[in-house]
Amino acid sequence: GIQVEQSPPDLILQEGANSTLRCNFSDSVNNLQWFHQNPWGQLINLFYIPSGTKQNGRLSATTVATERYSLLYISSSQTTDSGVYFCAGLNNAGNMLTFGGGTRLMVKP
C-alpha cells in the first residue's frame, strides 16, 4: 500500500527563522499535496506538487518524484505559521489520498 512518512514530527522555531519539512513516500504514490492544519483545525491546501518546485509567498515546495521525497520550505516564519503540516500522497488511480503523520510546528514570538 501507500506509505507516506514525515519528519520531523515536532518543530519549534523562533519567529523569523527558516525551516524545511520533509515527506518521503512510496513507489505507489503518484502525486503529492501539502496541507496546513491551523490551530483551529482548518485544513488548508498549500501545494499540489507532483514534481518540480512551486512557490507561494514565504512558502515553497519541491518534489523529486524519482527519489520519492518532497520538501516544504518555510522562510521568515511567523506565529501564524503554527499548526500541523501534512503531506499526502495520491494513489495511481488518482482517487485515494494517504496522509503522513504530520509535522507539528510551533513558532514562538
Partner 1 sequence: DAGVIQSPRHEVTEMGQEVTLRCKPISGHNSLFWYRQTMMRGLELLIYFNNNVPIDDSGMPEDRFSAKMPNASFSTLKIQPSEPRDSAVYFCASSFSPGKFFGPGTRLTVL
Q: What are the residues binding partner 1 (CB under 8 A)?
A: 30-31, 33, 35, 41-45, 48, 50, 86, 90, 94-97, 99, 101-102
Min separation Cβ 101 and partner 1, Å: 6
Q: Which 8-state DSSP code applies to residue 91?
A: E
> Which CB, 69 or 99, lies closer to partner 1?
99
Going by C-alpha positions, the residue among 27, 29, 45 that lies closest to residue 37 is 45
Going by C-alpha positions, the residue among 19, 48, 26, 22 that lies closest to residue 106 is 19
> Which CB, 72 or 77, lies closer to partner 1?
72
> Which CB, 73 or 99, lies closer to partner 1?
99
Q: How far from each other are the two terminal CA atoms of the chain, in whole angstroms?
A: 41
**Position of cell 495511481?**
92
Min separation Cβ 86 and partner 1, Å: 7
